[in-house]
Amino acid sequence: MNLKREDLQSVANAVPVSFTSAPGERGTIKANSNFNVSEDVAALRKAIEGIGTTEKTLIDILTHRSSSQKQAISKAYEETTKRILVNDLKGDTRGNFEKLLVALARSPALNDSKWLIKAMKGAGTDINILIEILASRTNKQIKELSAAYAEKTKKTLIQNLKTEVSGDFGKAILLLAEGARDESTNVNADKAREDAKALYHAGEKRLGTDESKFIEILCKRSIPHLRQTILEYKNISGKTLQKSIEKEMSGKLEELLVAIVKCVMSTPAYFAEKLYKSMKGAGTDETTLTRVMVSRGEVDMLDIRAEFKKLYQRSLYKEISSDASGIYGDCLKMICGED
């Protein structure tokens, strides 16, 4: 059954919150309205320098301050103690809890750059991290993480990616890493229909697939335009764009383009699925769990919680409670908040 034109338009205009919200709007980690940097520095010093670390204080401060407030704390901490807060956290805590606290203390851009550096370190590249970060971040976030990356490595992200990725997957990743996606909020239904037809003729309608057309459209067009295109595609082909990509492509390129489509339709749902998979079955993927909880805590955790409940009929908070134990679990639950 075809959707009416006005229905398509209204759905396309409902831009995913993650691409439009200011930090803190849909997050669980928000700025503290009674923020006092010197009090926080004193509390952190007492927690770290005393006999035995007071984990509760560390968790309380690092999960109840905005990123900019935590950067102010780090700066004042260094001025007061002549030590670096992140190093003191590393020296005083261990394991997954240490990694979680350190990530909470760093800026989002620095975290993203560190995760990308690690993904490209040594033999082989962790493409899952490249895909997750570059498919889900806004232009502004990509520009900021690229600056942090260049400062750390003395090379640009694009330069290093060129040595790590190749082929059509490489072309798509490099386009995303430029952080130059169209940011127009106006949707031209005719142009979206043209792109939907172009995708249909580049894939389902022909023998073999013209990957370059998929890359050009999915990596360059604005988010609202792509939402409209995805809806138009279903009208033209009778199947979803995601299903067509999964049928027509394989390997890394398929994974990347599917991730882009998922983020276009709902970044919170994309991350709800990531969280679910990190805790599913025997054993927990703490690296992914930590990365997602920290990177989305200030952005769209409220929406991720709602999507998690909708997709899996269970509470994210309860899932974390049964999957992550001890002080690490306590800190994750504080980021999540009860739902």
The whole-number pLDDT of residue 1 equals 43
The whole-number pLDDT of residue 82 equals 97
- The pLDDT tens digits of the residues spanning 139-148 come to 999 999 999 9
Measured CA to CA, the distance from residue 44 to residue 37 in angstroms comes to 11
The whole-number pLDDT of residue 310 equals 97
How large is the average pLDDT for residues 276-281? 93
What percentage of the chain reaches a pLDDT higher than 90? 85
| Tokens representing residue 107 in the block | 């800026």
pTM: 0.92
- The pLDDT tens digits of the residues spanning 40-57 come to 999 999 999 887 668 999
CB atoms inside a 10 Å sphere around CB 17: 16
- The pLDDT tens digits of the residues spanning 207-262 come to 668 999 999 999 999 999 999 999 999 999 999 999 999 999 999 999 999 999 99
Per the CB < 8 A criterion, the answer to whether 72 and 42 are in contact is: no
Instruction: Give the Å distances, CA to CA, from 86 to 22, 212, 242.
Output: 26, 43, 41
Output the average pLDDT for the chain: 92
Instruction: Give the Å distances, CA to CA, from 105 to 85, 108, 129.
Output: 8, 9, 20
The whole-number pLDDT of residue 207 equals 67
Per the CB < 8 A criterion, the answer to whether 192 and 225 are in contact is: yes
**Amino acid at position 122, single letter:** G
Per the CB < 8 A criterion, the answer to whether 135 and 16 are in contact is: no
6 has a pLDDT exceeding 70: no
18 has a pLDDT exceeding 80: no
16 has a pLDDT exceeding 60: no
**Amino acid at position 88, single letter:** D
The whole-number pLDDT of residue 9 equals 47
Per the CB < 8 A criterion, the answer to whether 322 and 286 are in contact is: no
Nearest residue to 303 via CA among 256, 269, 335, 254: 269
The whole-number pLDDT of residue 224 equals 96
How large is the average pLDDT for residues 319-327? 95
122 has a pLDDT exceeding 90: no
- The pLDDT tens digits of the residues spanning 148-157 come to 999 999 999 9
Half-sphere exposure of 232 (CA within 13 A, CB side): 24
Measured CA to CA, the distance from residue 318 to residue 153 in angstroms comes to 39
Residues 6+ apart with CB under 8 A from 151: 113
Half-sphere exposure of 82 (CA within 13 A, CB side): 0
Range scoring the smallest mean pLDDT among 121-125, 180-184, 313-317: 121-125
Find the largest Cα–Cα distance for the chain: 70
**Amino acid at position 173, single letter:** I
Measured CA to CA, the distance from residue 278 to residue 323 in angstroms comes to 10
204 has a pLDDT exceeding 60: yes
Please report which residue ranges of 82-138 form alpha helices under DSSP H. 85-92, 95-105, 108-119, 127-136
- The pLDDT tens digits of the residues spanning 290-314 come to 999 999 999 999 999 999 999 999 9
**Amino acid at position 326, single letter:** G
Burial class (CB in 10 A: 0-12, 13-18, 19+), 9: middle
- The pLDDT tens digits of the residues spanning 168-189 come to 999 999 999 999 999 999 999 9
pLDDT bracket for residue 22 (50, 70, 90): low
